Chains A and B, each alone.
Chain A
Amino acid sequence: AQTVTQSQPEMSVQEAETVTLSCTYDTSESNYYLFWYKQPPSRQMILVIRQEAYKQQNATENRFSVNFQKAAKSFSLKISDSQLGDTAMYFCAFWDSGGYQKVTFGTGTKLQVIP
């Protein structure tokens, strides 16, 4: 079974600074997808960024980018120019694209952006 580990339960960052959230996973699959989701206090889970395992290029969405290291099974999220609205829980997710297409979430990292 796949496992997803987020080793930082809580983090804080000053507004306008850069922060990196870590995520590691364990799988024997070669084809899969990785996601970062954001859950602000309003509780709506929002997709932040996605990465396809067969693509070597790291995904980028505006201020959000990932560092995908397939061999190391690492998928970290970098938030640049942090804004107060980035305060939220961040979840890393692994999606097995095989027959059963199961999704596994990490335990989350609570990010606080400090003004």
Chain B
Amino acid sequence: KAGVTQTPRYLIKTRGQQVTLSCSPISGHRSVSWYQQTPGQGLQFLFEYFSETQRNKGNFPGRFSGRQFSNSRSEMNVSTLELGDSALYLCASSAGPPLGYTFGSGTRLTVV
């Protein structure tokens, strides 16, 4: 069974630009969550989508947004990029808490 697929793996953007990251969950998983991982802040929760609806949201500015499509694929968008947005962005899908998350390999975003 295919795992969680995140694209692209690496991305370099310039300050002020915007970026869109993609995540395809495991087939049958309706929940998709996004995390930002940095050496200083650890894993920070961005948001969770379930059946195309945002169910939970972390404490990030409105520049960070996401959506989920009817096939459960999810995208997150960051507008007006700042240097501090440089991080590893992890996507995780789930069929519910007893089974936990399955993570993708992440997208490494570098803002220059």
Contacts and interface: CB of A to CB of B under 8 A. Distances in A.
- Whether A associates with B in a native complex is yes
Interface of A: 32-33, 35, 37, 42-47, 50, 52, 91, 93, 95-97, 100-108
Tell me if B's interface is mostly helix, strand, loop or mixed.
strand
B103 interface: yes
A35 B103 CA distance: 13
A107 B55 CA distance: 24
A32 B35 CA distance: 21
Contacts of A107: 42
A43 B45 contact: no
5 contacts: A32-B97, A33-B97, A33-B100, A102-B45, A103-B33
A46 B43 CA distance: 14
Contact of A100 (B33, B56, B90, B100): B56
